[in-house]
Amino acid sequence: MKDYLEIPLSKLCGVTYTNPDRTPDAFEWSLIKEISKHTGFLLARIHIKEAKKCKYSRKIDYFDFEYDGVNYILEKGKLKEGNN
pLDDT given at position 8: 85
pLDDT given at position 73: 96
Residue 1 predicted with pLDDT over 90: no
CA neighbor of 67 nearest in space, from 50, 48, 53, 46: 46
Mean pLDDT on 59-71: 94
Other CB atoms within a 10 A radius of the CB of residue 52 amount to 16
Provide the residue count of the chain. 84
Please check whether residue 53 is in contact with residue 13, taking contact to mean a CB–CB distance below 8 angstroms: yes
Which sequence spans correspond to the domains of the chain? 18-81
Please check whether residue 80 is in contact with residue 73, taking contact to mean a CB–CB distance below 8 angstroms: yes
CA–CA gap between residue 33 and residue 10 (Å, rounded): 20
Q: 84 falls in which pLDDT band (50, 70, 90)?
A: low
pLDDT tens for each residue of 12-62: 889 999 988 889 988 899 999 999 999 999 999 999 999 999 888 888 999
Please check whether residue 28 is in contact with residue 19, taking contact to mean a CB–CB distance below 8 angstroms: no
